[in-house]
Homo-oligomer: A and B are copies of this chain.
Amino acid sequence: MKLADLTQRAGEWLRGAGPMHDVVISSRARLARNLASQPFLSRCNATQQREIAERLRDEILAAGIAKNVFYVNVAAAGALDRELLVERHLVSRQHAEADHPRGVAISGSETVAIMINEEDHLRIQVLRSGLRLTEAAEEITQIDDRLEQSVEYAFHSKYGYLTACPTNVGTGLRVSVMLHLPALKMTGEIQKVFRAARDMRLAIRGLYGEGTEASGDFFQISNQTTLGKTEQQIVDEFFGQTMPHFIEYERRAREGLMKSQKAAVEDKIHRALSLLRAARLMSSDETMHLLSLVRLGVNLGRLPEIDLRIVNELFLLSQPAHLQRVCGHEMNDQQRAEARAEFIRRRLLQDN
């Protein structure tokens, strides 16, 4: 298994399956951990950074944490490969763009990705399609336990796991879901979602995490507090109390639209699909917008001929680094717009 094998398909989390997949794209759990034997990364010298990277790489590969795990030396990877990892949500943008020794271990299905030397020595991520936070949290706990058999983490009896940034201290656990909320966006009710999230001390971001705009129809919602709660409490609150409201709210907005503006919604949906199948030039932004409408159409049962998996994959595979990998050479904006249109057209016509 190597990086180049990834460009023709999407990871498990984009399968378009799992509970509540009409609204929930994916569920993600993330743990921040640091070695007790080394300083936090920002206080390490180059030798220590290299020691951490090599030690953790070896420990992870030896621990048998998941199937078909492979390791990418991010420091040695080319710019396009690093961008590819960001597009696949396997590393953060910060990690891709840093300039110290670092890497990422990835399971074959891409449900597990462990960044080494991001902000913390270890950032363990489990990503699953649909609303599966409990599963994701259970899997991440197993991985954490497995690694802890051979590695001593920095831990404080009162504060819990110690992390480079105080907001992660405690369990070090963050959970998040990626939601598709096109109907709330269309009706303008999305503003209420923002207010509700703020009141519940949840963070809302765009498709690519911290610092990205919550533009388009996709929203990543995550917990902000990790201190003073157990892993179980974090997951239960988020999964059991918060998410059902958001999901229900979007579903009602969809039903409302189909009652009050059926023709207008169907018009948007069918236009979007037809443009994806016909255009000769297509920007990233337009692709996201049109795919979002098609995804809505599939989930409303208006496009029975379209496979949700293909739509989800296109979100990923139509992005710049993926496109360039598929085409086998670097491209400028205009060339990418042409290649993107052709790629999408072929995928959707095959699918028909």
Give the interface of A toward B (CB within 8 A): 263-264, 266-267, 270-271, 273-275, 277-281, 334, 337-338, 341
Contacts and interface: CB of A to CB of B under 8 A. Distances in A.
A277 B267 CA distance: 11
Contact of A263 (B267, B271, B274, B338): B338
Contacts of A275: 271, 274-275
Contacts of A281: 263-264, 267
* Top 3 A-B pairs, shortest CB-CB distance: A274-B278, A267-B280, A274-B274
Contacts of A274: 274-275, 277-279
B266 A270 contact: no
17 contacts: A263-B337, A264-B280, A264-B281, A267-B279, A267-B280, A267-B281, A267-B341, A270-B278, A270-B279, A270-B280, A271-B275, A271-B279, A273-B278, A274-B275, A274-B277, A274-B278, A275-B275
Contacts of A266: 280
Contacts of A263: 280-281, 334, 337-338
A117 to B, nearest CB: 43
Nearest to A267: B280
A323 to B, nearest CB: 15
Contacts of A337: 263
A101 to B, nearest CB: 43
A294 to B, nearest CB: 11
A168 B209 CA distance: 72
Given A271-B279, A275-B275, 6 more contacts: A263-B281, A263-B337, A267-B279, A270-B280, A274-B278, A274-B279
A234 to B, nearest CB: 45
Contact of A278 (B264, B271, B279, B338): B271
Contacts of A271: 275, 278-279
A321 to B, nearest CB: 22
A167 B270 CA distance: 51
Contacts of A341: 267
Nearest to A334: B263
A243 to B, nearest CB: 33
A281 B270 CA distance: 10
Contacts of A338: 263
Contacts of A273: 278
A266 B282 CA distance: 12
A281 B279 CA distance: 20
Contacts of A280: 263-264, 266-267, 270
Contacts of A267: 279-281, 341
A271 B264 CA distance: 19
A252 to B, nearest CB: 23
Nearest to A274: B278
A274 B280 CA distance: 12
Contacts of A279: 267, 270-271, 274
A281 B338 CA distance: 28
A267 B341 CA distance: 9
A280 B280 CA distance: 22
A278 B341 CA distance: 18
A281 B265 CA distance: 10
Nearest to A335: B263
A182 B285 CA distance: 28
